[in-house]
Every structure is written in C-alpha cells, then in structure tokens.
Structure 1
Amino acid sequence: MSVFAAATALGSWPGSAPREAAEIVVGELHRLPHLVELPARGVGADMIGRAGALLVDIAIDTVPRGYRIAARPGSVTRRAKSLLDEDIDAIEEAWEKAGGPGSGRPVKVQAPGPITLAAQLELSNGHRALTDAGAVRDLTSSLAEGVSRHRAELARRLATTVVVQYDEPVLSAALGGRLAGVSTLNTVHPVDEAVAIGLLDECVAAAGAEVLLHSCADVPWNVLQRSIINAISVDASTLGEADYDGLGEFLDSGRTVVFGLVSTSAPAARPSAEEIAAAAVAITDRIGFSRKSVRGRVGISPACGLAGATAAWARVALELCQRAGDAVADDPEAI
C-alpha cells in the first residue's frame, strides 16, 4: 500500500498562524498530515518564496513580477528561512502533543517542482530561468539537495517517515510552449519531454523517500508515466475524456493517484464523506479497474486553493477527506 493512498491535503492553508494550522492538520489527518504553507504571510511564504529557504547555494530576491535569482542571500532569503523554521517548530510541537513520534504515521512536505521553479524565477536579465539550460540544471540540483536536507531534518525532529510532494502547476504549459516571455518577440520554447523527465527524476531520486507530484490540471500523463514518480495528485474536476487512458495506464503500472475531490469553498449543500468516497471509486470504475485492484492506490484530498478557504471550511474539508479516505482505503468494494 502506498503511503499516498490516504487522506491528505496539498499544503496551503488559510490565515497566518502556523501553530493553530499545524494542530488542525495533525489532528484531522490521521494517516498523512503535512507541513503547512501559509501564503497569506506574504513574501517568502508562497510556493516560490518557500523555495528560497530550500535552495542550496542559490538565493532569491523580489522583483515587481515575483522572484528573481539573486547574487547573494538578502532579506527575502532570510525571511523565507525564518518562516520555514517557524512552520517546522509548529508542526514539531503539534506532533509531540498528538503522540506522533514513534507512531509510524508519515508526514508530507511540499516544494515547487524543478520546472515550475525555473519557470517562475527570473534571471538577472528579466527572462525566465527556464530559458537558460545551465540555470535550469543548477536550480534543479540545488532544489534536489535542499529538499533532501529539509526532508531529513524534519524526519529527525519528528522521529517518523517524511515523504515529499513536488508542485508542478505549469508543467503542461512548459511542455506545450505556452509560457509567455518578456515580450511577444521573446517566446519561451517548449521544454523537451526527455529533459523534463530527467529533471523530475533527479529530484525524485534525491528525495530519499516516496514522492508525489501535484499537477492541478492538464496532466501530461505520457511524461509522468515515463518518470520514476511514485504518485500523482490531480484535481478530479479537471479530468476530461483525454485523461482517462493516461490515468488508467498510470494506475496499471502499480502507482498511486490522489484525487482532489473536496471543494475549497463551502458549497451550498455540504457533501457527505460517503458521497466523496463514491466519487473517487466512480473514477476508477469508469476506467475499468476493480475496486479490489485499486485498494491501497487511491488517495483523497481537497482540490487546489485551500489557502483561499475560510478557516472553518478548511477544517471541515480535512474532516471530509479523512472520513472518505478511510472508506476507500478500508473497503472500497463496500462503497
């Protein structure tokens, strides 16, 4: 059974109070809690800003459009590291209170994937780092080493297994050549599929643990199928006809899929955990897998964007995910 065949969340959380957030996530997610990300805190707390605390020997700074690779560490890198330290302290405290050390429960950490990171960081000339093959290689190596160190530190402090999620929201756009350059005359050329697989595999191999890749929509199944990634997370509402063959092949190869099935805003009618579990197995039914065959290889999470939810709904969303995830993991044939 994959560690990702469980109820979890994607990382981001509303508000700016790490200790409160950590207590809720550790308390509600019994099988796979995660280190929270609180982007509402601003610079250094969002997905790319967090990378400033993880990269080894590469610093970042802010520019009007986001972040840029910097010549040396400054206030932005220091702030990112300080916020990450605060988040680690918060989960360590919540974990100890919940009896986590020695429990065998794994914990998940998140980081931007190498392609999204290179697409969202600027070079000194204002172009995306993704346009420079040397910069991409350096960023990928730095990220892989930084995430490996981060995961190992958290595993030591929590005395448990720590697994990794890489976020790749712009992976498909990068592969398809749909990323805008600094002007209409400076387009970003498509990333070669073999290059993308190599970058992803480098980060997976260095992690030292099972790895989940999160792609919000438009999943490049053919690329992920050829990578060594253990699991994929996708917003179920974005799955179209073109996705089902790729999804089926991915599951058929013995890997795991986490379906984002719980809304990130309170719906008019609150769904039951049973309805969410039924929606998960309906997807695998549709692609022709018996429920017995996917037991231990399907997880459930909220959809993308939980940081924009109300605090009350975010907690409810985790509760629904956990109850639905238990039903799918324990006996999907009974749903």
Structure 2
Amino acid sequence: MRATGIGSFPGDTQRDYDEALAVVLGELTGDEGIGHVPEVPGRGAIAAMTGRTLGLIAELDADLQPGGWRLTGSSGATPLDQRRARSLLAQDLDALEERASGHTGSFKTQVAGPWTLAATVERPRGDKLLADHGARRELAQALAEAVADHVGDLRRRLPAAAELVVQLDEPALPAVMAGAVPTASGFGKHRTIHPPEASEALEWVLAAVRDAGAVPWVHCCAPDVPLALLRGAGAAGVMVDLALLDADGMDAAAEALEAGDTIALGVVPTSGALPSDKALVERVLRWLDVLGLDPEVVGGQLVVTPACGLAGSTAADARRATELVRSVARSLAG
C-alpha cells in the first residue's frame, strides 16, 4: 500500500512552491510513498494545469487571451506567455533536482491529458480545439512527443529514482464523452466524442509514456470515470475520487485490481474538517469488503491519495492531508 498526492498545493509565490516541495519530499518517500512534482496554480495561468502542459509542447504555439489559452496558428517565435510557462516549469524542476537528486523511490509528474486540453484550449479563430477533428489529433500527437521529452528530462534530473510515473489529468473526459462541453457561445454543446476516438488519443500519449520508460496513469476526479476505456487505452493506473464512484465504477475498479493494475483511491477530503486516519482506514477496508477483495492480496496495487488537488486548501490542511495519506497507507500495509 502506497501514498501519493494529486499534484496541486495552495499558495501564490515561489516560496509556496518550495514549501510544497518540502512537504512532498518529507512525507511521500520510501516504500510507502510516491513523491511528485508539486503544482502551485495560484501563481497564475502559466502555473496552472493547462499552461504548465502547454509549456512542455514545442510543436504548437499558444498565448493567453481573456478567455484562456489559445493556439496562435503561427510558426514564428514562441509566444511570451508560453515561454513564461516553460521558464517557470524549468525553475520548479531545477528546485526539485537540487533537493531530490538522490531520491531513490518512485516519483510522479502530472500533465493535462489530450481531452482536457482539447476542451480548454481554443483554436486560432476561436472556440475549443474540441470542435476540430484535425486539431484534436494534432494536439494529442504533439502532447505525446512533449511527454516523452519530459520523462527524459526528469530521468536526467532524478537518476536514482526507482520508477517514474506520469499522471495524465483528465477531469474533462467524462463531459467530452457525454457531449456536455459548452461551445464558445454558451448556447450549444460540442459533439460527443465516441469511445474509439477518445481511446485513440489517449493511446498515443500513454504509449509515449511507456516507451519513454515511465508508468502511465490517468487521474479523473469526476463522476462517470470510464475506467475500462482508460485501461484499454494503456493506463496502468487510474486515480479516482472514492466518493464519486458509482456501482459500475466500483466493479470496474475491482476488475482493475484483480488484473494487477493500480487504483489510486482519493479518500482524504479536500474541504471541511479532516477525518482521523483511523476513520479513513476503516473506510478503505469497508470498500474492499463490499467488493469482496482481500487487502493482503490487492494491497500492492492500491494507492491512497487526497480526493483531488489541494490548491483550495490552507497550507496547514494541505500538509495535514499529505501526512494523512501516508499514515493511512502505512496502517493499511500493516
């Protein structure tokens, strides 16, 4: 049984990033922890999920508009905002390298997945990339190349890491597949993306992760997570919010565990009072009992996490939530 974080922490300064890194490296180490690159999106759009990932992509140019990120459609110099996103990520990774160069356990990085990017980034002439079949393909393929390069960069920075995990964040995937993403006008919805196309784009990126020598996971803290589709596309691990799993989702999670895949259970709430580690341990054990699974059999495939990112928490609660996932994993490992 291991513990990790989703990625994000509260704050709006570089000092907040440094403090988040100290929490991660202090709590999520050893056999029971999976360290990760912290994210502090309060520093602005260039530090948030979409901007951070666009900073990795060299094949497509994007800049910030009042409505968010938009591809420029040009092949000239990289736009200023994208260069700033790239520079900030490099600065964050420099700090990581300095503090964690001798890290020997598993380590995780997070990038936005192709469908969440397509649902949030605009085409040069407006509206989301989701509206354009060719643009969707181009984005997914560019992301696959960028992620492979990112894994190589992390491998150089963390040469002693036993295992690198890449987490694709796909909070928008269920809405994309349900045809629930609003158009730019707000009066309509983008067309449903059917499973074969949804799977294909994910396959390109997840295969690039695996070919680069890392382990591909997908995170989706939304209802109706398509676990079977994600596993079929090549995800070796799926990260979910336990509170949002319906009966079908629970069955799919049990199937994944029995097949030897990883399920990362979001059990520590990100708002309100934090429960005791004893209460959280009992919750996980009840869940396994309902599924008829033996903790000693599937424990090696289970990871304990917060329910979602911690950017909306206080610094004290974010630290406590990270301590809790480690404590719960240790107790469950027995």
* Partner SS state of residue 126, structure 1: coil
User: 1:251 corresponds to which residue?
Assistant: 257
* Partner SS state of residue 179, structure 2: coil
Conserved? CA contact 1:265–1:310, under 8 Å: no
Distance 1:298 1:186, change over 3 A: same
Q: 1:227 aligns with which of 216, 222, 233?
A: 233
Please tell me whether residue 265 in structure 1 is matched to residue 271 in structure 2: yes
Provide the alpha-carbon RMSD of the alignment: 1.6
Q: CA deviation at 1:266?
A: 5.0
The residue correspondences of 1:86-105 to structure 2 (distance < 5 A) are: 86-96=91-101, 99-100=102-103, 103=104, 105=105
Conserved? CA contact 2:217–2:237, under 8 Å: yes
Please tell me whether residue 164 in structure 1 is matched to residue 169 in structure 2: no
Conserved? CA contact 1:19–1:94, under 8 Å: no
Conserved? CA contact 1:26–1:33, under 8 Å: yes
Q: 1:286 aligns with which of 272, 281, 290?
A: 290
Q: CA deviation at 1:214?
A: 0.4
Residue type of the partner of 2:297?
A: S
User: 2:84 corresponds to which residue?
Assistant: 79
Q: CA deviation at 1:247?
A: 1.9
Q: CA deviation at 1:56?
A: 2.4
Q: CA deviation at 1:185?
A: 6.1
Give per-residue Cα distances to partners, 1:188-241, cap 9 Å, x unaligned.
Answer: 111110111111111111012111110012211332242211011111121223
Q: 1:34 aligns with which of 36, 42, 47?
A: 36
**Bigger Cα displacement from structure 2, 182-191 vs 248-257:** 182-191
Give per-residue Cα distances to partners, 1:146-174, cap 9 Å, x unaligned.
Answer: 11111111111111232100000010110
Structure 1 residue runs without a partner (length 5+):
none
Distance 1:107 1:222, change over 3 A: closer
The residue correspondences of 1:80-159 to structure 2 (distance < 5 A) are: 80-96=85-101, 99-100=102-103, 103=104, 105-159=105-159
Give per-residue Cα distances to partners, 1:235-278, cap 9 Å, x unaligned.
Answer: 112122342222222223221111111122350xx422232222
Q: How many residues align?
A: 319
Conserved? CA contact 2:216–2:234, under 8 Å: no
Please tell me whether residue 238 in structure 1 is matched to residue 244 in structure 2: yes
Residue type of the partner of 1:79?
A: R
Structure 2 residue runs without a partner (length 5+):
none
Residue type of the partner of 2:129?
A: A
User: Partners of 2:20 and 2:95 in 1: how far apart?
Assistant: 8
User: Partners of 1:108 and 1:87 in 2: how far apart?
Assistant: 14
* Partner SS state of residue 90, structure 1: helix
User: 1:59 corresponds to which residue?
Assistant: 61
User: 1:11 corresponds to which residue?
Assistant: 7
The residue correspondences of 1:44-55 to structure 2 (distance < 5 A) are: 44-55=46-57
Conserved? CA contact 1:23–1:91, under 8 Å: no
The residue correspondences of 1:252-331 to structure 2 (distance < 5 A) are: 252-267=258-273, 270-328=274-332, 330-331=333-334
User: Partners of 2:322 and 2:168 in 1: how far apart?
Assistant: 20
Conserved? CA contact 1:165–1:212, under 8 Å: yes
Q: 2:218 aligns with which of 213, 220, 225?
A: 213
Percentage of matched positions with identical amino acids: 37
Ranges of 4+ aligned residues in structure 1 off by more than 4 Å: none
**Bigger Cα displacement from structure 2, 155-164 vs 191-200:** 155-164
Residue type of the partner of 1:90?
A: A
User: 1:183 corresponds to which residue?
Assistant: 185
User: Partners of 1:221 and 1:154 in 2: how far apart?
Assistant: 28
User: Partners of 1:79 and 1:280 in 2: how far apart?
Assistant: 42
User: 1:195 corresponds to which residue?
Assistant: 197
Q: CA deviation at 1:109?
A: 0.4
User: Partners of 2:67 and 2:329 in 1: how far apart?
Assistant: 39
Conserved? CA contact 1:266–1:313, under 8 Å: no
Residue type of the partner of 2:35?
A: P
User: Partners of 1:13 and 1:125 in 2: how far apart?
Assistant: 34
Q: TM-score, normalised by structure 1?
A: 0.91
User: Partners of 1:250 and 1:158 in 2: how far apart?
Assistant: 30
